[in-house]
A and B are shown apart, each in its own frame.
Chain A
Amino acid sequence: MKERTTYTAADLARYHAGGMSPREMHELEKAALADPFLSDALEGYETTPHAADEVAELRTQLNKRVARRKIFSLSAAGDQNWFRIAAVVIVFAGIAFLITRTLHNDHITSDRTLADNKTLAPPPVSKTPPPTIATPTEKPVETEQAPQAKIPLTTDKVPKPAKTEQAAQPTEDGITRSSQPSNAGRQPTTPTGSHDAAANYFRENKGSISDFNGQDRSIKKEAKSLQESNAGNEKPEGEITTSSAQTSATASPADHQNAATMPIAANAAPSDILKQEMKKANPEAKDRAGMVMQNANTQPADSVQFNQYLDTAKRALPAADSVRDNGKVILSFTVNNTGRPDNIVVEKSLCDACDRAAIELLKKGPAWINVAGKKRTVTVTF
C-alpha cells in the first residue's frame, strides 16, 4: 500500500476529531513516527479545534505578505548585484572626490608657500624690459594687512640706473636705490626704469632678500643709506619715517615679525604717502613695464607698487627668462574681508614656477577692494 507523504491541517484536524478510520489513523501515526515534523504538528493540532480555519487565515496573510515583498523586492532591487555595485561605486566616488578636493587645497597651500620663498629671492640679472601691471584706475585700500609700501615710486622719477655696483644712490625723491650685487655667483644688475623702483619696493616691502638665498644683501646698509637720504631731504621722506612708526604701532603680530627681520621696513612710507606719490606717476610707465594685469571687476589698492613688486619677483624666478614674453598666467580669486586675495585658482597655467610666482605676486600685492562673493580674474603676462 502506498503511504501518504503529505498531510494537511485538515487531515490532522480530522485525525483529532475522530474523522479518520483506524487504518488512516495508523498510517498517519506511522508517518508521524518516521517524521518528527509531522509528529510535532500532530501533537500541536490537538490543542485547537479550528485548525483548518486558522491555517486558511494564515495562508491569506502569507499571500499578502509575499505580494508586498514582491513589490518591495522589485523596487529596492535588494537582491540585485548591480544595485550593490552601483552603491559601492557611488560611495567610492564620493570618497575620491573628497580626497581629491583635500589634496587640491593642500596643493594650493604648498604652492603658496613655495611662491613665498621664490618671490623672496633676489632679483636676477635681466636685460629684458620688466613687466608691469597696468590697471585702469588705482584706488588704494588702506588696511593693516596692506603691503607696507615704504617708498612711493614713480617711473618718471626713477633715475635711469646704470649697471654699477654702487652701494646706494639717493635719487631725486630722496629714495636710496641700491644696486648691491645679489651674490657672488650671480652678476648683479640694476634694473632700469620701473624695474629699479620695483626692486626697491620689493626690498623694502619684502625685507631681507638675502633671507632666501642665504646671503646678506646688505639690507642694513640699504636701510642706513635710506635713512641718510631721508635725513635732509624732502618732506615726504620725513613723513615716511613718522608714518612708518605709526604703521608699526598698528601692525599685526606678523608684521612685527617681518619688521624684526626687515630693517628697511621700519623706515618705510605709509600707504597714504605712497598714494600721494602714486598720483604723480606717469600712466605710461605702467605700459613700459610690460606686464598687464587685466581686471574688469575690481582694482587693486595700489597697482603701481603691486606692478613693481611683480616685476621684481618675476625676475627672481630661475625660469623667468625662458618664459618671459611667451605667455600669460590667468588667476581667479576672491577678496576676503581684509582686502586680501583668497581662493586663488590658476585658470591658465604657463609654467610651474610662473604659476607659483603669479599666485604669490597676487597674494603679496596690495589690498583689493572687497566686493563680497565676486570672483575676480587677473592676467599676468610674462
Chain B
Amino acid sequence: MEGLGILYSRYMDLVYGVCLKYLREPEDAKDAVLAIFEELTVKLRKYEVSYFKGWLYQLSKNYCLMRLRSKKGKPVNIDVSLVHLADDWHPDGTEDKEAAFGSMEYCLGELQPPQRIAVELFYLKEKCYKEIASETKSDIGQVRSFIQNGRRKLKICMEKHFAKTGK
C-alpha cells in the first residue's frame, strides 16, 4: 500500500489535471483523485498492468466520465478535436528517413492552411502555442487544435503514402 501510494503520488499531479479538465470544479477533482486511488487499489489486484502511466490515465479519464454521466444523467460530449491519439507510428531507421521526409513534405501540402502553418511553426520552427497564436492571430486553443488535428492527418497521410509508394 505504501508503495502504491508513492507510485500514485508520482502521477497525482497529472491525475488532478485530468480530473480538473473533465470535472471543472477543484473540489470535485480532489474527491475524484482520492476516489481513483481507492479504485486503483482494488483494480490493481484484478488486472496485470504493464504500463502503469497509460493505464492510470485511462482509469482516471473513465472515472471522470462516469462521474459526469452519473451526475448529469446524460452522455458527455467530448470535443473530438481535443482528443489526442497516441502515436504508435514512429518511423525510424536511416533508410526510411529520406522517404519519411519526402512523404511528410507531400502530406504537409495536403493539410488545410491553418493546420499546415500551425504544424510547421510548432515542429519546424519550434515555437510554442502562445507564439503561434500571436503570429497567426488566433487563440491558444485553436492553435492546439490545429496542431493536434494537423498532426493526426499528417500521420494518416504519410501511412497511406508509404503504402502507396512502397517505401
Contacts and interface: CB of A to CB of B under 8 A. Distances in A.
Interface of A: 6-9, 12, 18, 22-23, 25-26, 29-30, 33-34, 36-45, 47-48, 50-51, 54-55, 57-59, 61-63, 65-66, 69-70, 73
B163 interface: no
A12 B21 CA distance: 13
Contacts of A66: 1-2, 4-5
B162 interface: no
Contact of B17 (A43, A50, A59): A43
A54 B34 CA distance: 13
Pairs of residues from A and B, 6 with the lowest C-beta to C-beta distance, nearest first: A41-B17, A44-B20, A44-B21, A25-B128, A66-B5, A44-B17
A22 B130 contact: yes
Interface in B10-52: 10-22, 24, 26, 29-30, 33-34, 37, 41
Contact of A48 (B15, B20, B37): B20
Contact of A41 (B1, B10, B18, B127): B18
12 contacts: A6-B10, A12-B13, A25-B130, A36-B57, A36-B84, A41-B14, A44-B17, A48-B26, A54-B29, A62-B8, A63-B5, A65-B37
Contacts of B53: 37
B12 to A, nearest CB: 6
B18 A40 contact: yes
Given A54-B26, A65-B34, A59 B14 contact: no
Main secondary structure of the interface of B (DSSP, over half): helix
Contacts of A57: 30
Given A29-B129, A54-B26, A69-B1, A43 B86 contact: no
Contacts of A65: 5, 34, 37
A70 B12 contact: no
A236 to B, nearest CB: 86
A25 B134 CA distance: 14
Chain B interface size, as a band, is 35 or more
Contacts of B115: none
Contacts of A51: 16-17, 20
B108 to A, nearest CB: 16
Nearest to A40: B18
Interface SS, A side:
helix
A25 B61 CA distance: 24
Contacts of B129: 25, 29
B131 interface: yes
A74 to B, nearest CB: 9
B34 A61 contact: yes
Contacts of A6: 10
Given A22-B127, A62-B37, A36 B1 contact: no
B2 A40 contact: no
Contacts of A7: 13-14
B20 A62 contact: no
Contact of A70 (B2, B9, B122): B2
B66 to A, nearest CB: 16
Given A25-B128, A66-B1, A42 B16 contact: no
A37 B14 contact: yes
A22 B1 contact: no
B9 A62 contact: yes
Nearest to B33: A58
B151 A33 contact: yes
A25 B129 CA distance: 8
B76 interface: no
Contacts of B10: 6
Nearest to A20: B128
Given A25-B128, A69-B1, A12 B17 contact: yes
